Amino acid sequence: MLLDGATGTELEHRGADMNDDAWCAMATLTHGDLLRDIHEDYIRTGCDVIIANTYATSRAMLTPAGYGDRVGEMVSRSVEIAKEARDRASGGRDIAIAGSISHMMPMDKGTAARDVDQVLAQEAAMANFRELAEHLAEAGVDFIMMETMYDPDLAIPAVAAAVATGLPVWTGFSATRTAEGNLIGFLREDLSFGEIVQTVLSEGGTVAGVMHTNVSMMPNALDVLQEHWSGPLMAYPDTGYFEMPNWQFVDVIEPDAFTAHCLNLVAGGVQVIGGCCGIGLEHMRALAQGLGRTD
């Protein structure tokens, strides 16, 4: 199954304004036509799944931007835009729409690191994620995609809120390496990647995978994941890095090299594949061709 490519970094790449507080969330309101175009382009490339632009659309992220009371409106509009794209571009193919939930928290100004003073405590986090999950279910997504799960303190209430909707839940974990080469959770250097996976998967889910993790680390991260998971396997790698303070994404892998990495992952048993930060339309077009989806 072919997932889409990045939405946030693709919006930025095509000229949408990124919000200092809520990153790509505001583009749903300010650049809806561009967002629809991106979804349509991915569908026409051969993708089976598009992910609604709700990665940063929780109350925790929208409140600093002054939009905390508009969570429901923004979720509804994000899913509506995805449905419009599906209607316009599917050509009769079955296209699933996923609702995105991350545990992204407000960031220190001008950096790619979260503001530790604004990270929600457990009870507030549960309310934050429950609100978002319920709005996604009400808007009519086909399943919920848990993105960038690396902090169990937030991932556990996030996954629990998603599972409570009764919708299928796909969980994507994010890893990085220590200087010694050990896999750890992104921004959680105190936890091994395996510890995070084992803890969060206990909350349930339908599909599990590795995402928002550099393409070069994917094979090792997937090996660790499979020590704790025997179900359908997903890979959603990223590439490059944010160059702050302007949300520019740089040092991006070439489409052909990305495709080669992904085909190796598929050969190794990955059943669901796509690309996140830095992976745009050209990458997905090359991957679709490599998978025989397009001429």
- Residues 152-179 as b/e (b if ≥16 CB within 10 A, e otherwise) read bebbbbbbbbbbebebbbbbbbbbbbee
H or E segment and range at residue 120 = none
Residue 132: what pLDDT? Answer: 98
pLDDT for 13 beyond 70: yes
SS (H, E, C) 241-290: EEECCCCEEECCCCHHHHHHHHHHHHHCCCCEECCCCCCCHHHHHHHHHH
Residue 107: what pLDDT? Answer: 73
Q: What is the pLDDT of residues 75-103, one digit of tens each?
A: 999 999 999 999 999 999 999 999 999 99
Tell me the average pLDDT across 195-215: 94
Cβ count near 43 (within 10 Å): 22
CA dist 69 and 62 (Å) reads 8
Q: What is the pLDDT of residues 122-134, one digit of tens each?
A: 889 999 999 999 9
pLDDT for 249 beyond 90: no
pLDDT for 111 beyond 70: no
Average pLDDT, the chain: 93
Q: What is the CA radius of gyration of the chain?
A: 17
- In this structure, which CATH number among 3.30.565.10, 3.30.70.260, 3.20.20.330, 1.10.10.10 belongs to the domain 8-290? 3.20.20.330
Residue spans per domain, the chain: 8-290
pLDDT for 118 beyond 90: no
Q: Quick check: 108 and 64 in contact, CB under 8 A?
A: no
pLDDT for 214 beyond 80: yes
